[in-house]
Amino acid sequence: MDFPKYLLGDNSDYPSAIFVVHTEFPRFIINLENDEVEWLEDFDKEDQKVLEAEAENLIQGANDFYDREIAKYDEE
C-alpha cells in the first residue's frame, strides 16, 4: 500500500493537539501544538548524521504540509 508522505492526525484524548505523521524514512510524528517530535526509527551512527542534517527540513516540510491542508479547508 502506498501512503502519502505526510498525514494529519488527531485524537480526542489530546483535544488541542494536531499531529503530522511523516511516513518516509526517517519516520516521525510531530505534535504541532508544542513542536514535540517522536522519531519512529532506531538510528545507527550513519543515520544520525543524516538525521542531524535533514531534521530541520523534514520538520519544516511537516509544518508546510499542515499550512497547505488548512488553506484548502479555508478555501471551501
- Average pLDDT of span 70-75: 86
Number of Cβ within 10 Å of residue 76's Cβ equals 4
Q: State the Cα–Cα distance between residues 24 and 5, nearest whole angstrom.
A: 6
Write down the domain spans for the chain: 6-75
Q: How confident is the model at residue 50 (pLDDT cuts 50, 70, 90)?
A: confident
> First and final CA of the chain: distance in angstroms?
29
25: pLDDT confidence band, cut at 50, 70 and 90? confident
pLDDT, average across residues 7-32: 95
